[in-house]
Each structure stands twice: as structure tokens, then as C-alpha cells.
Amino acid sequence: MQNYLDFDAFLREAEKQMMKIRVLGKEYEVKPELPALIPMKLARAQEGMSEEETVRMYLQSADAIFGKEAIDEMCEKGLTTPELAELVKQTVALIRGEEPEESGGEVLMDDAGHVAMRKAPGKK
């Protein structure tokens, strides 16, 4: 019986199976599993959060999924708060194996099955 677990090897293997999501013309890689922070935040959101707390939850979730640098880059390119919230919702749905929904023209799926976000209609 082996009494050693190399969990780092498991994590390295998971890194090989990254999902690609295109946002404002750039592809970002995300893990195909939700960070533990996300379900925890979603469970708490169901307990009745204020609008401010909900926005904070989406921002923290976005950082957990994409990383702070990637989110900063998206925001610098003009991603709005509602679009960021939609990006988080659609990415969580994709990771869970659900079909991303078309929402005001913001979410597109390319032929390779990658999610591509674009600005809402009417935005420059």
C-alpha cells in the first residue's frame, strides 16, 4: 500500500485540459473546474445578498476564474460591470457543462466550441 500522494501531479494534469474563452478579442485559458471559492460564494448569494455584495461576489469570482491580471486587462479594454457579471455567469455555466445562453448579443460560441464575449449591442 502506498502512503504517498502527489496532489501536485494531479493539479499539473488538470492544467493540461484548460478551456479557452475569448473576451474582447483575446483568448484566456481557464481551468475546467470551478475554484472552490465560486460555489461557496454562490451558496452565500442564495441567502440574500445586497446588490453591492452581489457585485463584489462577481468581481471576486471573476478573479478566481480568470486571475486578477486578466480581469484588469479586460476592464482596461472597456468591459463593463454588467458584462463582467455576464462573463462570470456564462463561464460558470460552461464549466458545469451547460450551454451558454445568448444574452443580449453579448455571448457567442465559435465553431471550435470556445465562448467568445463581445460588447452589448449599441456599444462602441
- Of 23-32, 51-60, 112-121, the range with the highest mean pLDDT is 23-32
Pairing status of strand 19-23 against strand 107-109: unpaired
In DSSP terms, 23 is beta-bridged to 26, 117
Q: How far apart are CA 80 and CA 78, in angstroms?
A: 6
* pLDDT for the residue 118: 45
Alpha-carbon separation of residue 24 from 73, 95, 124 (angstroms): 10, 20, 12
Whether the pLDDT of residue 105 is over 70: the answer is no
Domain extents for the chain? 7-117
Q: How far apart are the C-alpha atoms of 16 and 122, rounded to whole Å? A: 38
Q: Give tens-digit pLDDT for 49-72.
A: 777 777 777 788 899 899 999 999
